Structure formats: C-alpha cells, structure tokens
C-alpha cells in the first residue's frame, strides 16, 4: 500500500515537472541591442532595439523587432538588416547580411532582399527620431539552423541610404550602401 502511494506521488511529481518545463519552453525569448554610430561605440548610444520571439498561430517561430532611434541619423529612410557577426568595431566587421544555410549568400547587394536578416527601412523624421516595428519569421532567437545566436552572434546595421530592395538585381549600394550605425545583439 505504501509503495503504491509512493509511486502515485512520484508520478504526480513527474507530471508536475513536465508541465512546468513545457510552460517554461513556451516563454518568449528576448534579445536587445544598443545602437551606436559607426566609429563611436564608446559614446552614447543613438538608439535601442528589442527582439521578442513568440510562436505564431500556426506554431511557426516569429520574432518581433522594435528599433527606436533618437538622434544621429539623417532625415529620411535608412536600410536596416541583421548582419552575420556580432562585431561593430569597425562596423565593417559585422560582415555581410545574416543568411545561413546551404544556399547562403551574404553579399549585401546579392540575393537581396531574400537574406534571412533582411528587414524594412527605418524612416527618420525632422527631429531625428525613427521607429521601426516589424516581424520576421526568417530568424529565431532560440537555438536552431536560423538562430541569430550562432557561434559568432549577429548585429544590426543601419545604412546611410534607403534600401531599394534591389529590384534590378545585384547593383552596388542597392541595399543601402555605407554603414551609419551598428548594434551587437544580446540575449537576455
Ligand atoms: Cu545591411
């Protein structure tokens, strides 16, 4: 009788911890970045970014990206992408566009706008303020083949010019040209 009771208790504990671990696995994953002007990584950041991973209604992982810029960029549209390396010193060391997989082509002006890390333009207003809110299912924060937290991490790059999304194929600078700002992405 005592043994049976104990087995019952153990089963309850196992069921309980299974439910608990499942609930934990469904917690959204979060990440963020402080964005600095290129060449000024040790000064005040010009903006911030947050990333939150949640499953969509269809169960596909999607990442909500919010970027707020408060100063430092020219009025108008600027290309924004997730680049393939967590290195902003100098901004060129963030490498090309994040695009893992067997058909990977991280050339910013090639395979654009079909890289995993391609995002929308951010528009900066007359007060120097810009907000980008977008959702992508091309990357994950959690581990997997399209996780931006691969062995060398990832970074945001904001470009000098508007991303034209390269309608004429590979054209130098069509994805936004030179780099104005950069932010290494950290999970938390
Ligand atoms: Cu880029």
Q: Which residue has the higher pLDDT, 39 or 80?
A: 80
pLDDT greater than 90 at residue 11: no
Ligand 1 centroid to Cα of residue 77, in Å, is 13
Query: Where does the pLDDT of residue 16 fall: very low under 50, low under 70, confident under 90, or very high at 90 and above?
Result: very low
Ligand 1 centroid to Cα of residue 83, in Å, is 6
pLDDT digits (tens, 9 = 90+) for 17-38: 444 444 445 556 999 999 999 9
Question: Beta-carbon neighbour count of residue 9 at 10 Å?
Answer: 10
Ligand 1 centroid to Cα of residue 102, in Å, is 20
pLDDT digits (tens, 9 = 90+) for 47-64: 999 999 998 888 899 999
- Domain interval for residue 66: 28-187
Task: Classify residue 14: in a domain, yes or no.
Answer: no
Mean per-residue pLDDT of the chain: 88
CA dihedral 182, 164, 135, 31 (to 10 degrees): -10
Task: Classify residue 40: in a domain, yes or no.
Answer: yes
Largest CA distance in the chain: 78
Task: Classify residue 117: in a domain, yes or no.
Answer: yes
Ligand 1 centroid to Cα of residue 157, in Å, is 5
Task: Classify residue 172: in a domain, yes or no.
Answer: yes
Ligand 1 centroid to Cα of residue 19, in Å, is 41
Task: Classify residue 22: in a domain, yes or no.
Answer: no
Ligand 1 centroid to Cα of residue 58, in Å, is 29
Domains: count for the chain: 1
Ligand 1 centroid to Cα of residue 1, in Å, is 68
Task: Classify residue 15: in a domain, yes or no.
Answer: no
Any idea how long the chain is?
188
Strand order in the sheet with 47-55: 80-83, 155-159, 179-187, 29-37, 47-55, 61-69, 130-136
Residue 39 three-state SS: coil
Determine which helix (DSSP H) or strand (DSSP E) holds 15, and give its type and residue range.
helix 2-25
Q: CATH number for the domain including 123?
A: 2.60.40.200
pLDDT greater than 80 at residue 109: yes
Ligand 1 centroid to Cα of residue 178, in Å, is 9
Q: Which of 186, 130, 188, 133 is nearest to 156 (CA)?
A: 186
Task: Classify residue 115: in a domain, yes or no.
Answer: yes
Task: Classify residue 3: in a domain, yes or no.
Answer: no
Q: Which of 110, 97, 108, 114 is nearest to 169 (CA)?
A: 110
How far from chain centre, in Å, is Cα 54?
Answer: 13
Ligand 1 centroid to Cα of residue 103, in Å, is 18
DSSP-derived secondary structure letter, 70 = -
Highest mean pLDDT among 2-6, 58-62, 67-71: 67-71
The CA distance from 99 to 111, in Å, is 10
């Amino acid at each position: 009788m005592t043994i049976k009771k104990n087995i019952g208790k153990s089963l309850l504990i196992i069921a309980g911890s299974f439910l608990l671990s499942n609930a934990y696995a469904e917690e959204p994953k979060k990440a963020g970045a402080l964005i600095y002007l290129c060449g000024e990584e040790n000064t005040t950041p010009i903006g911030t970014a947050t990333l939150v991973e949640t499953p969509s209604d269809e169960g596909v992982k999607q990442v909500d990206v919010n970027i707020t810029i408060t100063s430092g960029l020219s009025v108008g549209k600027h290309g924004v992408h997730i680049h393939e390396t967590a290195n902003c010193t100098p901004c060129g060391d963030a490498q090309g566009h994040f695009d893992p997989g067997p058909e990977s082509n991280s050339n910013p002006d090639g395979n654009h706008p079909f890289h995993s890390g391609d995002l929308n333009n951010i528009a900066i207003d007359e007060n120097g303020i810009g907000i980008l809110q977008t959702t992508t299912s091309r990357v994950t924060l959690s581990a997997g083949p399209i996780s931006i937290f691969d062995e060398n991490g990832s970074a945001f790059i904001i470009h000098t010019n508007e991303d034209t999304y390269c309608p004429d194929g590979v054209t130098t600078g069509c994805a936004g040209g030179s780099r104005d700002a950069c932010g290494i992405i950290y999970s938390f």
